[in-house]
Amino acid sequence: MKLYHAPASPYVRKVMVLAHETGLLDSIDVETVSTSPAAPDAAVAKANPVKKIPALVTDDGMALFDSPVICEYLDSQHDGPKMFPAPGEARWRALQLQAAADGLLDAAILIVYEGRIRPEELRFQPWVDAQRSKIDGALAALNTWSEDFGDRIDIGTISAACACGYLDLRFPDIDWRGANRALAAWYERFSARPSMQATKPAG
Ligand code: GSF
């Protein structure tokens, strides 16, 4: 399988952490690309009409996106403990957690692009503030839920960890730990996992 990849992408990291946890890493050929709304990568655009990474091309030529779909596909390709629980309460909790973490990342990425792509004179602070409010709301939910995470490893906790790691990478000025102590304590333990250490983005 070919994975279109960028080391700093938190959504790509979700896929890579799951691949580590499920023993699928050796079956994935990683192709590192650089893509942005202002300069989409042509190969990515062939695999994903939305022109975003991660995008996966399976061994039988199927092009899959976005990270939830790619992660669920990978989870169908191994015989170990599943990262997507079977239908029922545990599954809905894991998918709900993934959705909150992805929503945090979606808001964070929009702030990054506002600053990286939009010319300074066109930037709109109320827009940035609105995205920051979404990040804070998602963090509060993750913090509440994290009290029951225990040692759970599934698509939800993987997504939550990648979201926390992204804030450290791109928003070092946000002290998310101060207002979310339960989440911070959980993340301290979870981020020590080999799968997290092996996929830690360079600063
Ligand atoms: C979001 C991926 C995404 O925004 C997913 O995979 O879950 N819902 C998707 N990827 C960014 C790169 S990143 O910063 O993670 C991306 O491809 N941006 C390029 C663009 O054109 O938006």
The atom of ligand 1 lying closest to the CA of 54 is 6
Kindly state if the Cβ of 37 falls inside 6 Å of ligand 1: yes
Q: How far is the CA of 114 from the centre of ligand 1 (A)?
A: 14
Q: How far is the CA of 53 from the centre of ligand 1 (A)?
A: 5
Q: Which residue has the tokens 């702030």?
A: 111
8 Å CB contact between 29 and 86: no
> Does 112 score more than 80 pLDDT?
yes
pLDDT digits over 60-70, tens only? 999 999 999 99
* Torsion from C-alpha of 57, 59, 60, 65, nearest 10 degrees: -20
Q: How far is the CA of 197 from the centre of ligand 1 (A)?
A: 22
Query: What is the pLDDT averaged over residues 196-201?
Result: 97
This prediction's pTM: 0.98
Q: Which of 200, 167, 160, 162 is nearest to 182 (CA)?
A: 160
- Interior angle at CA 41, CA 31 and CA 64, nearest 5: 60
Query: Which listed CATH number (3.30.2400.10, 3.40.50.150, 2.10.69.10, 3.40.30.10) goes with 2-75?
Result: 3.40.30.10
> Does 203 score more than 70 pLDDT?
no
Look at the chain and count its residues.
203
| Burial of residue 181 (number of CB atoms within 10 Å: 0-12, 13-18, 19+) | exposed
Q: Which of 78, 4, 87 is nearest to 48 (CA)?
A: 4
pLDDT digits over 20-78, tens only? 999 999 999 999 999 999 999 999 999 999 999 999 999 999 999 999 999 999 999 99
Q: Is 123 helix (H, G, I), strand (E, B) or coil?
A: coil
Domain 89-193 -> CATH class: mainly alpha
* Torsion from C-alpha of 145, 147, 152, 158, nearest 10 degrees: 50
Backbone dihedral angles phi then psi of residue 64, each to the nearest 5 degrees = -120, 145
Domains of the chain, residue spans: 2-75, 89-193
pLDDT digits over 150-195, tens only? 999 999 999 999 999 999 999 999 999 999 999 999 999 999 999 9
- Closest C-alpha to ligand 1, atom 17: 52
Kindly state if the Cβ of 40 falls inside 6 Å of ligand 1: yes
